[in-house]
C-alpha cells in the first residue's frame, strides 16, 4: 500500500467515533479444524475420502488458550438432496464435535466449505435457488439454536459470481436462520474469496465494500474475511512478502469503523519463516489494537491429515509437540473463555 493511502486510511481509523483501547484484546482466537470437507467423492467414505477432526484436538487447542474453532464440512455430504433431510451418519460426528467443544467453553463456527456452490452449481442460479440455501441454513440453525456457543458461518469463500447475487443469497440464509429463533452470531463473508485486502476492489465486480452494506440482519453478525501474505494473497505459497501484515488490513478496518460494523479474520496463516512470522505478528497486533471492530481470528489450519502442510498448526508427538507457528500465536490468545456476545 502506498504511503499516502496508508496515511489516509490510518487517519480515517484514528479519527472515527470508535477508538482503540489500550490493553484491549480480541474476543476470539482459534483455529480451523479441517478434514471433513476433503476428497472429491460424494458422498465419500469416512477415513478414506475424508476425516473428521477429533475431540482430543479440540482439547489440545483449548489448552493453548484458543476459544473458538471453525469446523469445515461439505453441504452435499450433510444434505445430499436440496430440501432433503440431513444425512445422519455425516451429521453425528459434527454433533459430537459441537457438543464436546461447547461443553468445554469453546465456540464452534459451522462452516460449509463450498465456495458458494452445490454440486458445482452456483448459489442463486436456477440450479441452486436461494431458497434451497435458505432451507439448508434453516435446518442447521434450528438444530443448534439452543446452543449459544455455536456460530453460523454462512459459506466459505464465495467467488466468481456477481457480488449482488451473493448478497441476495446471504440475506435469504440470514432470514431463514433468524426465523428459527436463533440469536447467535452470524459470520457473513464477501465475494472474491472474501479477501480483506480486496474488500473495496472492483476487479471482481461490485466491491464487497459497497454491496455488503445491503446485508440485512437485526441480530449479531460480523463480516468474515480471509488474509494471507504470499505474493497473490491466495494462501497457496508458504512464503510471505516483506512488509505485509497490518498493511493488508488497514482498509478493512477503516471500512468496519466507517460503517459501525465488526469483522472476523476467519483464515490467516504463513509458513515457518521469519517473513511470515513478522506478517502474522503485525496482523494480529493490528487486530488486537482495533479490538473494538475486530472480534478475532482463526488460523488456517489443523486436523488429522494436515501434518505435512506448511501452514499446519497440528501438533505432533500424539498431540504433545506444538507446531512452530504456535509460539507466534500464544501472545495473542484471548484472555477469557467468556460467554455472551456484545452487539452485531
Identify which of 24, 36, 60, 28 has the alpha carbon closest to the alpha carbon of residue 224.
28
Buried b (16+ CB within 10 A) or exposed e, 185-207: bbbbbbbbbbbbbbbeeeebbbb
Per the residue annotation, which of 57, 76, 246, 267 is the catalytic one?
267
| Measured distance CA(2)–CA(89) in Å, rounded | 52
Per the residue annotation, which of 37, 57, 76, 157 is the catalytic one?
157
Q: Return the bridge partners of 222, or none.
A: 187
76 annotated active-site: no
Torsion over CA: 334, 339, 343, 344 (sign): positive
Identify which of 31, 26, 57, 64 has the alpha carbon closest to the alpha carbon of residue 330.
64
Measure the CA angle with vertex 339, ends 333 and 340; round to 5°. Answer: 110
What are phi and psi for residue 275, nearest 5 degrees? Answer: -65, -40
Identify which of 48, 30, 125, 69 has the alpha carbon closest to the alpha carbon of residue 305.
48
Class of residue 66 by CB neighbours under 10 A (exposed 0-12, middle 13-18, buried 19+): buried
Class of residue 120 by CB neighbours under 10 A (exposed 0-12, middle 13-18, buried 19+): exposed
267 annotated active-site: yes
DSSP state of 121: E
Give the up-direction half-sphere exposure of residue 267: CA atoms within 13 A in the CB hemisphere.
Answer: 30
Which stretches does DSSP call E strand in the chain? 28-33, 68-73, 107-112, 117-118, 121-122, 150-153, 186-189, 221-226, 263-268, 294-302
C-alpha cell belonging to residue 135? 432451507
| Catalytic residue set | 157, 267
Amino acid at each position: 500500500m502506498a504511503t499516502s493511502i496508508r496515511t489516509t486510511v490510518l487517519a480515517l481509523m484514528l479519527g472515527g467515533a470508535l477508538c482503540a483501547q489500550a490493553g484491549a484484546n480480541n474476543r476470539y482466537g482459534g483455529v480451523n479444524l479441517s478434514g471433513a470437507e476433503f476428497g472429491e467423492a460424494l458422498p465419500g467414505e469416512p477415513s478414506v475420502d475424508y476425516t473428521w477432526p477429533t475431540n482430543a484436538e479440540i482439547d489440545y487447542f483449548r489448552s493453548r488458550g484458543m476459544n473458538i474453532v471453525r469446523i469445515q464440512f461439505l453441504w452435499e455430504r450433510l444434505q445430499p438432496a436440496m430440501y432433503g433431510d440431513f444425512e445422519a451418519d455425516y451429521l453425528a460426528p459434527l454433533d459430537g464435535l459441537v457438543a464436546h467443544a461447547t461443553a468445554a467453553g469453546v465456540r464452534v463456527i459451522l462452516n460449509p466449505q463450498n465456495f458458494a456452490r452445490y454440486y458445482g452449481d452456483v448459489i442463486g442460479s436456477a440450479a441452486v435457488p436461494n431458497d434451497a440455501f435458505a432451507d439448508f441454513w434453516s435446518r442447521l440453525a434450528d438444530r443448534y439454536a439452543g446452543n449459544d456457543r455455536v456460530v453460523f458461518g454462512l459459506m466459505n469463500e464465495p467467488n466468481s459470481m456477481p457480488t449482488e447475487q451473493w448478497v441476495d443469497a446471504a440475506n435469504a440464509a440470514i432470514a431463514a436462520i433468524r426465523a428459527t429463533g436463533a440469536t447467535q452470531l452470524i459470520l457473513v463473508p464477501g465475494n472474491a474469496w472474501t479477501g480483506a485486502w480486496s474488500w473495496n476492489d472492483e476487479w471482481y465486480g461490485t466491491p464487497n465494500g459497497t454491496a455488503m452494506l445491503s446485508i440485512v440482519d437485526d441480530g449479531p453478525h460480523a463480516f468474515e474475511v480471509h488474509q494471507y501474505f504470499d505474493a497473490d494473497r491466495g494462501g497457496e505459497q508458504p512464503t510471505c512478502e516483506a512488509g505485509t501484515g497490518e498493511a493488508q488490513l488497514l482498509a478493512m478496518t477503516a471500512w468496519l469503523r466507517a460503517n459501525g460494523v465488526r469483522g472476523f479474520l476467519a483464515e490467516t496463516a504463513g509458513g515457518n519463516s521469519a517473513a511470515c512470522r513478522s506478517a502474522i505478528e503485525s496482523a494480529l497486533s493490528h487486530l488486537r489494537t482495533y479490538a473494538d471492530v475486530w472480534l478475532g481470528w482463526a488460523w488456517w489450519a489443523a486436523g488429522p491429515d494436515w501434518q505435512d502442510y506448511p501452514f499446519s498448526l497440528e501438533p505432533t508427538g500424539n498431540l504433545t509437540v506444538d507446531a512452530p507457528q504456535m509460539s507466534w500465536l500464544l501472545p495473542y490468545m484471548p484472555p477469557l473463555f467468556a460467554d455472551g456476545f456484545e452487539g452485531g
